[in-house]
Structure 1
Amino acid sequence: MNHEHHQHSNQHDHHGKGGHDHADHYKHDQKKSGGHAHHDHHKMMVQDFKFRFWWVLGLTIPIMVLSPMIQHFLDVDWRFTGDTWILAILSTGVFFFGGKPFLTGLVDELKKKQPGMMTLIGLAISIAYFYSTAVVFGFKGDLLYWELSTLVGIMLLGHWIEMRSVMSASSALEELAALLPGEAHKVNDDGSTEDIPVEDLIQGDNVLIKPGEKIPADGIVVKGETSVNEAMLTGESKPVSKTKGDEVIGGSVNEKGSITIKISKTGDDSFLSQVMKLVKEAQESKSRTQDLANRAAFWLTILAITAGLITFAAWVLFTGQSLDFAMNRTVAVMVITCPHALGLAIPLVVSRSTSIAATNGFLIRDRTAFEEARNLDAVIFDKTGTLTKGTFTVTDILNFGETYSDQEILKYAASLEKNSEHPLAKGILEKAAETWEPDAFDSIPGKGIQGKVNGKSVKVVSPGYVREQEMGYPNEEVEEISSQGKTVVFVIIENELAGAIALGDEIRESSKKAIDALHKMGIECIMLTGDNRQTAEYVARELGIDQVFAEVLPNEKADKVKEVQDQGKKVAMTGDGVNDAPALAQANVGIAIGAGSDVAVETGDIVLVKNNPQDVTSLIHLSKSTYRKMVQNLWWASGYNIGAIPLAAGALYVWGIILSPALGAILMSLSTVIVAVNARFLKMEEQ
């Protein structure tokens, strides 16, 4: 039972602090207590509400059948000797077992002097229970046990629906740690190698990394040369060449040759650990928005208590009415204020909007952030993999003579590139319709590759090689393509400069539409990338981006987001790489591209499953529609109460109009139906 109390105390603490925001509560606490442990704890809480709900539902059926008021309404008479005592016993179970979360919450909220939803529910069920029990013992009035049981049941159902719909398993830090391999090939002093756990590596150790393996820790190349894919860590789409003396980052992937590195940083000092630290700090410092329902409950609680006290005092002190009449009026006021509809107003809309979002290609992981999306002033996009496809594609073929056609130049280059593992080679091969088998193949260190294809000598080389050989080519045309951030390789056939092939990171078709749609909504669009400024500026011009942050180091990305936030703007960050994770966490709304790294997906508040930037505009529209629907439901739930309170208090008594506790309870049920139906009308098209 102590554990059970601990569970609900946590839940109620959260309600008292300002909201039903279980997702943000979970995400915040996870950093303190560990992902799996808190996930299990949260899951237990969901199961607990579910268990209590089914028990209360089972007890509510006989309570309804035995209630004189329900029998009168159905025009039946099932009364028998001792039926009120059975009602009292069953209702006692409902009150103490089913109502325990709310009673505990009431105590916690009052201790903190922050009355909210739990206080309102706790007061309502307590008044209904003790008033009805007094009636059983002879007090003149109506039994409201059925009102007690239905209120507890609906509140448990509301919490169960809400918690289940927003529960998420945020494991960003685990995903980051998973980037590192489990073992490393340590090179001993005698030249032999042994596999040891990565955590056993110390500064100064020499480690062998084979092609295709992940680099186990930060270090410096002491032997060999290769190209390393750092896209997941730095955002740079091109593999980076590494030779003796160059630094490599733990978690990046060795693409080509075998290298030996000397470990320079391990543990907390490593680059990856620093990124993990940034993610943790940014997530923990994220501000919370107060839950709408809790604010409504706070004022409704104040109103209910005040109205109840005034009603009781007015009837007893100023009208000379009997004590039981005054008590009935007071109970009617408190029953009218029972938040049947208020308890479901938000959860039903949340559940509906979460379902609509998933159907349309994005998953809501943090409800608070999703609701915040309606107020965005700026959206920051990562370039590589978000606005662009993140892969090299042939964009241009330049022909410098008449000997070979464009397709022949591409075919010769692709045939030679068949033996290369370089990403540029993959881009050329994908473009070529067909290839020959090369007769010979060799690399030109640092410059390119050469060999025999279809009986001819062929070279695919860098601009540097062409300049060294003093081969002439149309500089202006090549420089214009290079200014667009594209990579140009030259094709030499039989010692003749036949042409050049340009490759670039292709811009997504949907990116331009997304930027245009955001501009129409009055939202500023910003690009944030680790890529070079020339490439970034070109993509920005093509898309109509308002502002560009280029050549930004991974540890600076979150700072850039904060810089925009410091201008008083609410900011969304959209990205897919590990280097984007701190920025995703820092932003008011973190939007992860689904095909990106697991850590970006786990750090994001919203995940775009279809990798479509246009979904950013869709989620903003849905956020606005959801908020409007929530406000409508809260007006139905709270406004209904406010309007009925004077009637329950007996304001129209002089004209013979009086609202009994029983009639008040029935009318309150109607507002619940209205709220449920209204939530179902939420649609994606609402804008």
Structure 2
Amino acid sequence: MDEKYEKDRKNNTKHDNHKHVDNNQHHEDNINYDHHKDHEHGDQGHDHDNHGHGGHDHSHMLDDFKKRFYISLIVTIPILIFSPMIQSFLGYEFSFPGVMYVLFALATFIFFYGGKPFLTGSYDELKQKNPGMMTLIALAIVVAYVYSSLTVFGLSGSNFFWELATLIVIMLLGHWIEMRSVMGASNALEELVKMIPSEAHLIGENGDMKDVKVDQLVQGNKVLVKPGEKVPVDGLIEKGQSDVNESMLTGESVPVEKTTDDQVIAGSINGEGSLTLQVEKTGEDSYLSQVVKMVKEAQESRSKTQDLSNRAAKWLFYLALFAGFTTLIVWLVIGFPFDYALERMVTVMVIACPHALGLAAPLVVARSTALAAKRGLLIRNRANFEEARNIQSIVFDKTGTLTEGEFGITEIVTEEGYQKNDLLQIAASLEAQSEHPIAKGIVEEAKSQKLTLTEPEKFESMTGKGLKGVIAGKEILIVSPGYVEEKQISYQAQKFEEFSEEGKTVVFVLISNELAGMIALADKVRESAERAVSRLKDLHVQSIMLTGDNSKVAQWVANQLKLDEVIAEVLPHEKAEKIKALKSQGLKIAMTGDGVNDAPALANADLGIAVGAGTDVAMETADVILVKSNPEDVVSILELSKSTYKKMIQNLWWAAGYNIVTIPLAAGILYPLGIVLSPAVGAVLMSLSTVVVAINARLFKG
């Protein structure tokens, strides 16, 4: 981990040119307000076609399944119309000379065209000696096709071309739905890529500058980032100083001061200063490539419950073989002709591959992924997401997760003769000229109180000290504790000490060289964090804060949120150790964080959750990404995981239940009672099972 970058990420006491109150040396610190002029963020003219988004192979496969599904569906319609078994069941007749050969030709096309993915898939499974869903489907369609083809050319019996066609169509649909749901999540992630500019201002060896495509840059190039522009590459600052907004990358909405030798990441927004960067990362190492890599991983992520359906298919394959050959032998032994015994065997083996099983997991996955996306949850690792239902403790990072990363006023202390609202109005009128986070916090509070701001007659930024201005003929100063100490101005020291110990930033307001009061500000605790902790208590899930901040600041936040436990003053590399220690107690742990320093902890947790898109490293190690920095979404993950698993198990039981009932009936177990399941009735039961599974998945509300 880069220590310099980590210093910048966590240095919440130094934004812009403010030097905020340090808890140990607050008397020596002072606030340097630089006047932030308004600027326009020009359009970068992004051309995203040049970004390699990855996942093209997956997209091609998706299109292939979609094409095969629609073509097979169209060909299936005449197969159903011409099928004698369907005609018999529905009570109509439709025939013409050579109809069986037409049926055979259509079925042959579907078998080889629509069934190709399953035939090649089963070959791969059998080669690995691990039969699964593909092998089960291949067994059913091969048996149905070969047997039905023999009936066309002389073998006595009914054909199963309708079963062959519908099975292929439904299985193609299931695979298409499954792949599309994963692609949907991937497309949402790729929206992040659009936030990165496609062009950069390249500085040549002789100092000339030209605009080039980002993908043309190489390590060691120098680029200029103008005020208000997005940083185009991961790089090191060679010249310049500016506050950089990294909220897209870290969830930290307070800009971080960057100067020579500091790192900046592609996608962050430059503030007022110009920066000259040396390109550090290109190609596979760049932030953009990390996002694309994560998209690819998301596409390849396997669901444990989908593996469960695959294991069910494996056992159904063995059951189909056993039940099929047992049926053939038994019917032959009790004296029935070979044609009849063979039809019974084929019926059993075809019915053993339930259409519903192929849709049971994919339909719920698709529905679950859609619901998650609507709630701002991007599921990167489905297996760990499904295991989230067993989480016992949630560990939260503080800054940017439980807090907003934006300053808000917590207290206003006035001197005798001054009112709080008057002090706030005067301070906000002067601070409105600045774009600094502290200034914004004061102005926002004034707006929420519906106070009318006055335009200063004069305004000046005092380097290293604060702001000076004239409002309504009176000289106004908003200054740091250092300025007050330097001028030996008397103030309420005990109150100031209390604020400082709680990690709050304090500014002093002077009117006509007389102290009017002080304003304490702190990183605002999210209202949603309080609701999230409350909801977690209802679910009997522990809430733990894990932070590098000092224990007094952490405890102040924890008391407001009523957290169960606080672990403070933890160095970045120690966070992972703390997670391991919690896991060693036998707890299932989820870790929620937003930055590089949280990455090891995210990787070690049973469920890693990256907040506010996170850094590239945080996203790499997270299982779920929260698009919005809303702690309540963490609760949504647990609830959605529980309901998704429950719905999947329901669907698998519906699909398996079909087999439990129909295979013995198809084999003829009730023949002594005069009950034998005809292929037509088997088709109806199969259809009902598929419809029930589809409706059950559709009714899933999360």
TM category, shorter: 0.7 to 0.9
2:464 is paired with a residue whose SS is coil
TM-superposed deviation, 1:164: 1.8
Does the CA-based 8 Å contact 2:393-2:541 persist in structure 1?
yes
> Which stretch of structure 1 is more off in the superposition, 659-668 or 569-578?
569-578
2:163 is paired with a residue whose SS is helix
* CA shift in 2, pair 1:637/1:201, >3 Å: closer
Aligned to 2:645: 627
Q: Within 5 A, what are the aligned runs for 1:428-443?
A: 428-432=442-446, 433-443=451-461
The one of 399, 417, 435 aligned to 1:384: 399
2:675 is paired with a residue whose SS is coil
- 1:669 maps to amino acid: S
Does the CA-based 8 Å contact 2:348-2:663 persist in structure 1?
yes
TM-superposed deviation, 1:397: 0.9
Question: Are 1:427 and 2:441 counterparts?
Answer: yes
Q: TM-score, normalised by structure 1?
A: 0.80
Aligned to 2:334: 319
Aligned to 1:159: 175
The one of 350, 354, 359 aligned to 2:365: 350
The one of 98, 105, 117 aligned to 1:89: 105
Aligned to 2:485: 467
> Which stretch of structure 1 is more off in the superposition, 122-131 or 226-235?
226-235
What do residues 209-260 of structure 1 show as CA deviations (whole Å, max 9, x unaligned)?
Answer: 654456666546777x6555556666666545567x7745455655345577
> Which stretch of structure 1 is more off in the superposition, 415-424 or 89-98?
415-424
* CA shift in 2, pair 1:271/1:486, >3 Å: farther
* CA shift in 2, pair 1:119/1:38, >3 Å: farther
- 2:435 maps to amino acid: E
Question: Are 1:98 and 2:114 counterparts?
Answer: yes
Question: Are 1:183 and 2:197 counterparts?
Answer: no
Aligned to 2:65: 49
> Which stretch of structure 1 is more off in the superposition, 178-187 or 323-332?
178-187
TM-superposed deviation, 1:116: 0.9
Aligned to 2:416: 402
Does the CA-based 8 Å contact 1:176-1:276 persist in structure 2?
no
TM-superposed deviation, 1:629: 1.7
Aligned to 2:687: 669
Question: Are 1:305 and 2:307 counterparts?
Answer: no
Q: How many percent of aligned residue pairs carry the same amino acid? A: 52
Does the CA-based 8 Å contact 1:300-1:638 persist in structure 2?
no
Q: Within 5 A, what are the aligned runs for 1:207-606?
A: 211-213=227-229, 219=236, 227-229=243-245, 238-240=254-256, 247=262, 249-251=264-266, 254-257=270-273, 266-267=280-281, 289=304, 291=306, 292-316=308-332, 318-357=333-372, 362=377, 367-399=382-414, 401-432=415-446, 433-529=451-547, 533-548=551-566, 569-575=587-593, 588-591=606-609, 593=611, 606=624
1:266 is paired with a residue whose SS is strand
Does the CA-based 8 Å contact 1:172-1:603 persist in structure 2?
no
Does the CA-based 8 Å contact 2:305-2:648 persist in structure 1?
no
TM-superposed deviation, 1:498: 1.3
TM-superposed deviation, 1:605: 5.4
* CA shift in 2, pair 1:117/1:147, >3 Å: same
What do residues 27-59 of structure 1 show as CA deviations (whole Å, max 9, x unaligned)?
Answer: xxxxxxx99564332222222222222222222
Residue ranges of structure 2 left out of the alignment (5+ in a row):
1-49
TM-superposed deviation, 1:464: 2.0
Could you tell me how far apart the structure 1 residues matched to 2:397 and 2:627 are? 16
- 2:684 maps to amino acid: I
Could you tell me how far apart the structure 2 residues matched to 1:512 and 1:398 are? 26
Could you tell me how far apart the structure 1 residues matched to 2:528 and 2:111 are? 55
What do residues 441-479 of structure 1 show as CA deviations (whole Å, max 9, x unaligned)?
Answer: 333332322233322222211122222223222222222
Could you tell me how far apart the structure 2 residues matched to 1:277 and 1:163 are? 19
Aligned to 1:169: 186
Question: Are 1:655 and 2:673 counterparts?
Answer: yes
Could you tell me how far apart the structure 2 residues matched to 1:547 and 1:271 are? 38
- 1:136 maps to amino acid: V
Could you tell me how far apart the structure 1 residues matched to 2:156 and 2:349 are? 18
Aligned to 2:133: 117
Could you tell me how far apart the structure 1 residues matched to 2:323 and 2:190 are? 50
Could you tell me how far apart the structure 1 residues matched to 2:283 and 2:674 are? 79
Residue ranges of structure 1 left out of the alignment (5+ in a row):
1-33
Question: Are 1:130 and 2:151 counterparts?
Answer: no
- 1:388 maps to amino acid: T
- 1:90 maps to amino acid: L
> Which stretch of structure 1 is more off in the superposition, 612-621 or 338-347?
612-621
TM-superposed deviation, 1:482: 2.8
Aligned to 1:64: 80
What do residues 373-414 of structure 1 show as CA deviations (whole Å, max 9, x unaligned)?
Answer: 322233333433432233222221111x22321122222222
TM-superposed deviation, 1:131: 0.9
Alpha-carbon RMSD: 4.2
2:545 is paired with a residue whose SS is strand
* CA shift in 2, pair 1:217/1:651, >3 Å: closer
Number of residues of Structure 1 aligned to a counterpart in Structure 2:
642
> Which stretch of structure 1 is more off in the superposition, 150-159 or 284-293?
284-293
Does the CA-based 8 Å contact 1:311-1:326 persist in structure 2?
yes
Could you tell me how far apart the structure 1 residues matched to 2:657 and 2:338 are? 29
What do residues 302-331 of structure 1 show as CA deviations (whole Å, max 9, x unaligned)?
Answer: 211222233233444x43543223322211
TM-superposed deviation, 1:634: 1.0
Could you tell me how far apart the structure 2 residues matched to 1:499 and 1:627 are? 57
TM-superposed deviation, 1:522: 2.7
* CA shift in 2, pair 1:206/1:308, >3 Å: closer
- 2:674 maps to amino acid: G
* CA shift in 2, pair 1:448/1:644, >3 Å: same
Could you tell me how far apart the structure 2 residues matched to 1:68 and 1:259 are? 77
1:331 is paired with a residue whose SS is helix
